[in-house]
Structure 1
């Protein structure tokens, strides 16, 4: 039985095993980043919007702080190929070697996405460089309760055709579970692609960043701010005085915050909507990844669906038993400690335990 369970586990490892050596079972790392907080971006304030636009129309704006290659190793460019070329549509974040987290709005009315792809590890989209990876989208999962008029449940997952390998330029983002006190995080950044000032005659999207502050939810929802429009599943980030916002960025751009004690970053939000551009009392609004932590795990197959949810996938009985064993062992207190370790770590831990069982079994046979 131990041997049979071991063989099933090896089959389950499958696609992620090849990336174990490169991703090292970690997330939230920025090996080539450095603190640019002394020079935050000052974005212009000449564009009005209700729901953040994609890259269309942003090429004429100025501002933003350009960054060095590798400073944002988890950000992803979602692109569509059309008759007139390939276009950056929105951003996202790599949270697993084969999964990208982004916003549902990016795909609203998109139709056929068979020619869409993602670019990981790039800073200049016109010249991604040898360190970048390109993957086609194998499947798209949009939150079934997404409301385009209010941006409620503005969340989506992209399954890639095959896993990517991690490097200094490509790393996994950490989605926090309910145990992390996100409002207490103080060092936060936003990022997105914007056309370089010297990109004429054609656009040359460059990755840029800015330092922001998480805003108190009650203040952000007060009558002189957003007047109750911000939902519990959303975060506000920026400054009360304005000047820095996601208005020139694209939808799905990550909001990351540095951990208070450890040297890694949490992916706490994805750019969703706002009003005005970098105006006072009008910070950017982000979909909270923490709020969708369980949903993300269920869609990726790392947790069993809730009783009232539609099963994402049917497993043969033996695989289902193994999946339940994994959950029981990794969550002894029925907690969701996904952020503390990646799926590769979880599989490796179970693999080692089963190896010990196999050794004991073989010793028993010899005796």
Structure 2
């Protein structure tokens, strides 16, 4: 199948503003009105929205949002291949009246009128499908571009490919895990220290804000990177650190320089996140806590350095743009959910997206400067020297 030059970009069929209220049929309107009425009635009876109901409301919105009608432009060859995949899988059936593909095996009340797949022919083919389904269709096309034509195998496995057997990746040595362990230990010790010495008030004194700096508490510029607002906050960040820390360390050169580069990237990314936070809240009093700014810097560099040993990816590459967009969506949802919960409980707080953004942009744009140059001696667990190129 011929490769396609376009980006296989997915866009909304009706526009973002319409997607924010994801109701595309009268069949959806009725249950949504019932749900809103129930929430208003409970609010009137209880005097407030219980947090669990707010969470259910958000999950319902997300469920409808991911199934929003979307568009994607493909070539005629790609469209023919997708239709062949749909037919082989048997999860969708093509209507003889309107040529639309509709899912099978669902009850009548589960079949929303806007939930279909349609191929509109022209010079190119416009694919119309629910957002979640469209992501799967795009993934199939990208799989073809990466591995070549896929072969139909059976009803249980509609298509399969046999790429060359990859060489087994060597297990990372304990030295690659040391920087992440040291950083994580610092965060855990900080959590224990603030919990047993000053409680909630002592913890907030570690937070960074314009007010804290105006009071001369400049130590918060450093301390906030290790303090966390709750055990759940700490666990989320430590999980992310454990997942990416050793792998990124292995790409930063030999021991011990890789650990120094890792620590420097984290520290500078956290500073970039703090600077962004302060720039957007120049007179703010709500303190910011957490290692997220530094962690997002690690993520920013991680997505620029492919695991297959290729050169540093361009910021405008498809992979970088895709991951960046996914991170924006995740942060937007978390910010909205935490803001609603904070508003309901009458407290200040939420997600410091400004620090996430500043740290991520630093790691994405400046982080590659910390990568070893071509010809540098790499550890056995890392990528071979010949696969590295100078950071750009």
Q: Report if TM-score (shorter chain) is over 0.5.
A: no
TM-score, normalised via structure 2 length = 0.25
Tell me which protein shows more strand as a share of its residues.
1
Structure showing greater radius of gyration is 2
TM-score, normalised via structure 1 length = 0.26
